[in-house]
């Protein structure tokens, strides 16, 4: 048995095989070819090899998960043999005289977009399948093996660390837990683990070797320990620990439908933070009162190019409809710093956390901002949508935002496109500057939401992504709490409400302190809604 110790970012116990996250190293470039027929043959050979791989996967899946669950691999084989798909690829090769890789990638994008735009839910689901089978062909053409990023069975995902763009692509239904070499408790891996309510250990160092790929492992998220090839005694202890944890979670389920009210009668809203449409189910399952933070930048991280107005409108509309009148606060894109997107063409910065990011991009690249605002105002017709702006440091920024909103409304009206006029507007309080001028800001907007992750970082002058500084990073620091109280007092002085949407909102040690400050709302990962409700109901 090998025992590795790191830092826990979410409690619980997971038992399963260790699966290292594998990154594809292929780059698809468009190149001219002279012999188009030879290139078509290259494609046909790669397709035949891909079909062979899928047949092997089908046979293995029948043994592991039964015939019904193995059917997906038969569907993938059929997609590779689809005449429309094949003809599209070969037509691109012949007419444009380009390489097979480019033709496959282009066809995959075109077909996926076509499926995704269909009304039928089954056909929409085929968009991901056509991308999957095309990736398999591209891996063969590029000579990078199968390039599997994640196994097809339940597993503990191991990696050096995971970027935001990688966490959003994981098949979350197959993830038992996370174990990473690096990262901090504020990394996106950690946030995802808390959102998914699964155990995670970070900072295991280079002792977490790829040699352990496929071995049985146990994550003890309570102690921050990873056991590889656990002995029988350890396995027994961990199974008992897991059973007790699941029993406790079952007790919390009994709190569903209960009010978020203290023993003395003080009420507070408990909302949930999400990253995409697929998280809405977890919000409803955990009985959150609304969505306090929809991180819209994940739409941009998932895309290969700027998401269109229609793409964004469809997502925001679906979330609003699914929440059936409950509040949905959508934060405008917060790209930059640790969330980099290639097609934005952002320059490399020495200090990106203090750089060109969030509202600063929106106010200087207004065509991107206006596209998102148009989608938001249109989607607000279908539910209770509020808009929130990140990284605000001045009243002047709010005036510029309102001027752009006025332009967007005028354009929509002129085009005869329905939109909601009275959308609630709020700002993130996540810089010391926004705290110090919070009284003036409160006169301009409808509400505040405190982003404690960045507020702590900027108040303490500590890079929250730097694991070496974890011992100095103290979100309970008196200065941070004083900043939150000051913002709350100023919001209430102007008759506006204030909440917290940062990770600190889920810190049960501070719940009573936040209630004393008079905070009106706490927005946390869906998995923390019920534990937070329990803590609120215990407070005097």
The pair of three-digit structure tokens given for residue 389, joined into one six-digit string: 């702006």
Is the CB of residue 252 less than 8 Å from the CB of residue 530? yes
| Annotated active-site residue in 40, 76, 188, 362 | 188
The predicted structure's pLDDT at residue 291: 95
Partner residues linked to 32 by β-bridges: 98
Task: Mark out the alpha helices in 380-528 (DSSP H runs).
Answer: 395-414, 432-436, 438-442, 452-460, 478-493, 511-517
- C-alpha radius of gyration, the chain, whole number: 25
C-alpha 23/C-alpha 62 separation (Å) is 27
**Tens of each residue's pLDDT in the chain, 540 residues:** 999 999 888 778 999 999 888 766 678 889 999 999 999 999 999 999 999 988 887 776 666 445 655 677 788 888 899 998 999 999 999 999 999 999 999 999 999 888 878 776 556 667 767 887 888 899 889 887 644 455 667 889 898 877 544 565 567 778 888 898 887 665 656 766 776 677 889 889 889 988 898 899 999 988 999 999 999 999 999 999 888 888 777 766 777 778 888 888 899 999 999 987 778 877 887 889 999 999 998 888 877 888 899 999 999 998 998 888 899 999 999 876 666 667 777 777 777 778 788 899 999 999 999 999 999 999 999 999 999 999 999 999 999 999 999 999 999 999 999 999 999 999 999 999 999 999 999 999 999 999 998 999 999 998 877 778 888 888 899 999 999 999 999 999 999 999 999 889 999 999 999 999 999 999 999 888 888 998 999 988
Residue that the structure tokens 């302190």 belong to: 513
Q: For residues 291 and 326, is the Cβ–Cβ distance under 8 A?
A: yes
For residue range 193-215, list pLDDT tens digits in order: 776 677 889 889 889 988 898 89
To the query of whether residue 501 is one of the catalytic residues in this protein, the response is yes
* d(C-alpha 421, C-alpha 402), whole Å: 13
In this prediction, residue 173 carries a pLDDT of 79
Buried b (16+ CB within 10 A) or exposed e, 453-470: bbbbbbbbebbbbebeeb
Q: How far is CA 460 from CA 218, 292, 379, 432, in A?
A: 35, 25, 38, 10
Domains in the chain and their CATH numbers? 2-23+150-252 (3.50.30.10), 36-142 (1.10.274.10), 255-538 (3.20.20.60)
CB 231, CB 216: distance < 8 Å:
no
Per-residue pLDDT reduced to its tens digit, 55-102: 887 776 666 445 655 677 788 888 899 998 999 999 999 999 999 999
**Residue 122 and residue 129 in contact, taking contact as beta carbons nearer than 8 Å:** no
Any idea what DSSP says for residue 246?
A: H
φ/ψ (deg, to 5) at 201:
-130, 130
Number of other residues whose CB lies within 10 A of the CB of residue 410: 10
φ/ψ region of 326 (left if φ > 0, alpha if ψ in -120 to 50, else beta) reads beta
Of 40, 76, 362, 501, the active-site residue reads 501
C-beta separation of 434 from 498 below 8 A: no
Strand boundaries in 286-379, DSSP class E: 291-295, 327-331
Specify whether 40 is catalytic.
Answer: no
Using the 8-state DSSP alphabet, how is residue 332 labeled? P
Cβ distance 292 to 273 under 8 Å? Answer: yes
What does pLDDT average to over the chain?
A: 86
Distance CA 359, CA 367 (A): 13
Scanning the structure block, which residue is given the tokens 């990284």?
391
pTM over 0.75: no
């Amino acid at each position: 048995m090998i025992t590795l110790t790191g830092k826990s970012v979410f409690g619980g116990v997971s038992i399963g095989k260790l699966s290292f996250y594998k990154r594809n190293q292929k780059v698809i470039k468009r190149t001219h070819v002279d012999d188009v027929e030879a290139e078509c043959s290259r494609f046909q050979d790669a397709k035949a090899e891909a079909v062979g791989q899928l047949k092997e996967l089908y046979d293995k899946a029948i043994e592991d998960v039964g015939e019904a669950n193995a059917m997906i691999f038969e569907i993938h084989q059929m997609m590779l043999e689809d005449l429309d798909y094949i003809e599209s690829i070969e037509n691109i090769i012949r007419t444009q005289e380009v390489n097979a890789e480019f033709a496959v990638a282009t066809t995959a994008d075109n077909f996926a977009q076509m499926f995704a735009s269909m009304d039928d839910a089954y056909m929409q689901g085929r968009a991901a399948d056509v991308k999957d089978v095309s990736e398999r062909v591209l891996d063969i053409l590029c000579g990078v093996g199968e390039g599997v990023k994640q196994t097809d069975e339940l597993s503990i995902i191991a990696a050096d660390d995971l970027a935001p763009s990688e966490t959003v692509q994981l098949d979350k239904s197959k993830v038992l837990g996370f174990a990473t070499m690096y990262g901090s408790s504020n990394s996106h891996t950690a946030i995802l683990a808390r959102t998914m309510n699964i155990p995670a250990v970070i900072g295991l160092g280079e002792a977490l070797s790829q040699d352990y790929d496929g071995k049985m492992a146990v994550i003890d998220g309570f102690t921050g320990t990873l056991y590889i090839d656990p002995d029988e005694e350890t396995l027994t202890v961990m199974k008992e620990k897991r059973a007790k944890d699941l029993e406790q979670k079952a007790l919390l389920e009994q709190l569903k439908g209960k009010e978020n009210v203290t023993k003395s009668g003080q009420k507070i809203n408990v909302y949930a933070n999400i990253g995409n449409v697929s998280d809405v189910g977890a919000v409803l399952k955990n009985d959150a009162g609304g969505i306090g933070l929809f991180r819209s930048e994940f739409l941009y991280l998932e895309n290969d190019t700027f998401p269109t107005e229609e793409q964004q409108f469809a997502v925001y509309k679906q979330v609003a409809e699914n929440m059936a009148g409950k509040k949905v606060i959508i934060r405008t894109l917060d790209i930059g710093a640790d969330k980099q997107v290639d097609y934005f063409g952002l320059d490399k910065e020495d200090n990106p956390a203090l750089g060109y990011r969030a509202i600063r991009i929106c106010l200087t690249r207004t065509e991107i901002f206006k596209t998102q605002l148009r989608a938001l105002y249109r989607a607000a017709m279908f539910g209770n949508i509020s808009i929130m702006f990140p990284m605000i440091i001045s009243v002047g920024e709010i005036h510029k935002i309102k001027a752009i909103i006025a332009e967007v409304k005028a354009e929509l009206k002129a085009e005869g496109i329905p939109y909601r006029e009275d959308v609630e507007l709020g700002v993130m309080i996540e810089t010391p500057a926004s705290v110090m001028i919070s009284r003036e800001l409160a006169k301009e907007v409808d509400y505040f939401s405190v982003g404690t992750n960045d507020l702590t970082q900027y108040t303490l002058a500590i890079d929250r992504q730097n694991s070496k500084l974890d011992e100095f990073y103290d979100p309970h620091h008196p200065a941070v709490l004083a900043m939150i109280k000051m913002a709350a007092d100023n919001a209430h002085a102007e008759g506006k409400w204030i909440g917290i949407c940062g990770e600190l909102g889920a810190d049960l040690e501070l719940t009573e302190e936040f209630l004393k400050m008079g905070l009106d709302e706490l927005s946390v990962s869906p998995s923390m809604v019920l534990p937070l409700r329990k803590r609120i109901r215990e407070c005097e």
